[in-house]
Structure 1
Amino acid sequence: MKRKILVMMFLSLAVVLLALSGCSSTKTDSANTEEKSTTVTDAAGREITFPENISKIAITCQGGTTHEVAIFGGADKIVAEPSMEQFPQLLKMYPQLKNATNAGSFDDINVEQLMGTQPDIALVGITSAKGNALIEGVGIPTYTMLIGSAGVDNLKQEFLNVGHMLNDDKKAEALVKHWNDTLGDLDKIVSKIPENERKTVYYTGKVITKASSGQWGRSWIEGSGGIFAVPADVTGDISVEQVMEWNPDVIVTQGGNGTADLLGDARIQDMNAIKNKEVYECPIGAFWWDRPSPEATLGFLWLAKTLYPEYTKDIDLEKETKDFFKEFYEYDLSDQEYNSFFFNKSI
């Protein structure tokens, strides 16, 4: 009888230990699951959970996204993206990008082709809800990027998110520090410029009516010491009459748009910027310097030097550019490559 009781006690104890072991195993598995995934908030305000190790990335937007992924060590992971042929310096540094499948961009997506690359995640633009929904509809997780809608602060947060996604928090933090230091130092310089010497800047495309009125253009120009020519309540296409009324001191165009059409536009020949030939085409490095991307700080420096050469003599743009490329792209930029970034060198 005693033996039977002892056996029953032993069996009961074993059941209890097994149950405890099961609970412990469940917690461990849960902890491991948590360790192997991370949740961040994307540009659309969604909480996105992604796996610890992402091996294949699809990109369907062009706003500096490829550059972020490349800087954080993910160039080899890009299996699909729009053509980067318009950025020869980027392709020179990362020739493997030429092998990525071009499955379209934004709302113009070939979903079947994209699926064929079997990405773990797709980085998509905030402006392409239709295309993004198609991608999600076939089971590919998406993370929404800011692209042209970025502001300085939320762009820095995006760097941290993408760096974390690619297991390179250290470099992401270094990039944010670079932004803080560079723009902080620049602000100390431009804050000394008297108000009566500040120049109004009109930031446009190839024709005078296609001006930027968004957050980024304003942040870029004001951060470089200029006065944004377009009033805050103006959006969309702008009439020639409005531009003539604002009469900006300087016109800046995106790299690749040229300046000839503006300088030759008979309707605006009495504008200060045209009369004084203060029309400049923004440089293109690995990306456009006037658009949100990791190297956009160089665009701030370029514009400040273009607007206020006397106040910015101590800024060595060539050194700043080469230092950036060395630290973040891990590339030694040559003198010839640096000079190729500029269309009408004003500094």
Structure 2
Amino acid sequence: MKMTKMTALLLAAAMALTACGSTAAASSTAASEAASVEAAAAPEATAAPEEPAAETAVTYPLTVTDQLGREVTIEEEPKTLASGYYISTSLLIALGVQNELVGVEAKADKRNLYSLSAPEIQSLPSIGTAKEFDLEGCAALAPDLVIVPAKLKDSIPQMEEMGLTVLAVKPENQAGLFGAIELLAQATNTTARGEELEMAIDSNLAALAEAVAGTDAPSVYLAGNSSVLETAGPAMYQNTMIENANGTNAAASVEDTYWAEVSYEQILDWNPDYIILASDAEYDVDSVLNDAALADCTAVKESHVYQLPHAVEAVDSPVPASFLGSVYLASVLHPEQVTEEYYHAAADEFYGSFYGFTPESYE
């Protein structure tokens, strides 16, 4: 029944995405992956998901509240957009308005997700980063709407003085991600697509929660980008990912709101069952396994050291596909309940439905 249950869950997720307007090819891929898990077992009966609500007409002028609590009036439906944040750019692609972008964040040409889903945006003018935003460059593009990270809150008044309409997003956790989806979907008149996106994420997380329910929760040390001596405490999104996968954060006592620096002694004291490297880690699994200072750590002794997927994008940040980080981690922590094939099928379904491609690599 274990594999039958997983098959049913994956088929249910595929059905949910299909009902939300996903491509037939992607749905077929997920269904065939699920069927291959246990061809002889019939999936448990699953109620058909509800159809998404009909498109709600957005009328302009439109006043919305952004994620800094600012009330912003958008006079007309925006035809040109500028995004100064990779998460908002990824969201705009998922909402299907990438062709309206006239400017994007710096280093967009380095992002694999863009090259796979919307390569044309990689040659758009850069409007900088949260640390070095190009106010003049952005204003010169004359976008109808600018989306920036909340970190740029001190620059927003100057943008408005330049005549720009600006929305700030702060998707630092699951609720924040959904808030950003709803905000940008309303602002760009794509509310139905936004609802489809949220439903897809919700259905995948619900299926995952059911799959890992009742399993023991191993301790997980999530190491940072720069060093194994950096970790994510409970205030970071990565903690949510660990909890979604039914693990416990070894660094639960850390109070930092960003990557915290710790010592080898502290890691050995926590003695995690698993060490998971961040997607964008600048070191590799072998370097941790061969680190003499960690030789007595349970995770190292049992070779339970892995790196989160990064071939398409970093899934340990709150991008639309961030739930895949939880699914992957669950396949590591609970391989009998969540198989590698299940993770692959979930990735195929989601990227196919909202980004128009099937990953060639799942690493």
Which TM-score bucket, shorter chain as reference?
A: 0.7 to 0.9
Q: Identity rate of aligned residues, in percent?
A: 22
TM-score normalised to the size of structure 1?
0.79
Equivalent of 1:269, from 290, 295, 299?
A: 295
- Superposed CA RMSD in Å reads 2.2
Rounded Cα–Cα distance in structure 2 between residues aligned with 1:314 and 1:238:
31
* Structure 1 unaligned blocks of 5 or more: 1-33, 343-347
In structure 2, the residue matched to 1:207 is 227
Please say if residues 124 and 144 of structure 1, whose CA atoms lie closer than 8 Å, have aligned partners that are also in contact: yes
CA–CA distance in structure 1, aligned partners of residues 71 and 132 of structure 2: 25
Alignment partners' CA distance in 1, 2:291 and 2:85: 33
The letter for the 2-side match of 1:240 is: Y
Residue 66 of structure 1 pairs with residue 85 of structure 2: no
Q: Secondary structure at the match of 1:299?
A: helix
- Partner Cα separation in structure 1 for residue 161 and residue 294 of structure 2: 49
Match of 1:19 in 2: none
Matched, 1:297 2:323: yes
Q: Give the deviation of 1:290 after TM superposition.
A: 1.4
Which residue number in structure 1 is paired with residue 198 of structure 2? Answer: 176
Structure 2 distance, partners of 1:261, 1:37, is 56
1:48–1:143 contact (8 Å) kept in structure 2: yes
Report the equivalent of 1:324.
Answer: 350
Aligned AA for 2:85? C
Give the one of 212, 216, 219 matched to 2:237. 216
Look up the equivalent residue of 2:199 and give its one-letter code: K
- Distance in structure 1 (CA, Å) of the matches to 2:75 and 2:271: 52
Amino acid at match of 1:237: E
Distance 1:61 1:89 in 2: 14
Q: Is the CA contact 1:107–1:130 (under 8 Å) kept in the aligned structure 2?
A: no
CA distance, structure 1, for counterparts of residue 312 and residue 60 of structure 2: 33
Quick one: distance in 2 between partners of 1:314 and 1:285? 16
Alpha-carbon deviation of 1:39? 2.3
The answer for the alignment partner of 2:100 in structure 1 is 77
> Quick check: 133-142 or 280-289, which moved more?
133-142
Match in the other structure for 2:305: 279
Question: TM-score normalized by structure 2?
Answer: 0.76
Give the Cα separation in 2 of the matches to 1:137 and 1:107: 20
Alpha-carbon displacement from aligned partner over 1:54-110 (angstroms, at most 9, x marks no partner):
122222222x21110011122112222222233224213211112211121103122
**Distance in 1 between residues matched to 2:113 and 2:243, nearest whole Å:** 28
| Higher relative contact order (Cα pairs below 8 Å, separated by 6+ residues) | 2
Equivalent-residue separation in structure 2 for 1:95 and 1:229 (angstroms): 39
The count of aligned residue pairs is 298
Following superposition of structure 1 onto structure 2, how do residues 1-347 of structure 1 map, counting pairs within 5 Å? 35-62=59-86, 64-81=87-104, 82-147=106-171, 150-194=172-216, 198-205=217-224, 206-213=226-233, 214-235=235-256, 236-257=260-281, 258-259=283-284, 260-284=286-310, 286-313=312-339, 316-329=342-355, 331-333=356-358, 337-339=359-361, 341-342=362-363
Q: Which amino acid aligns with 2:162?
A: V
Residue type at the aligned position of 2:228 = I
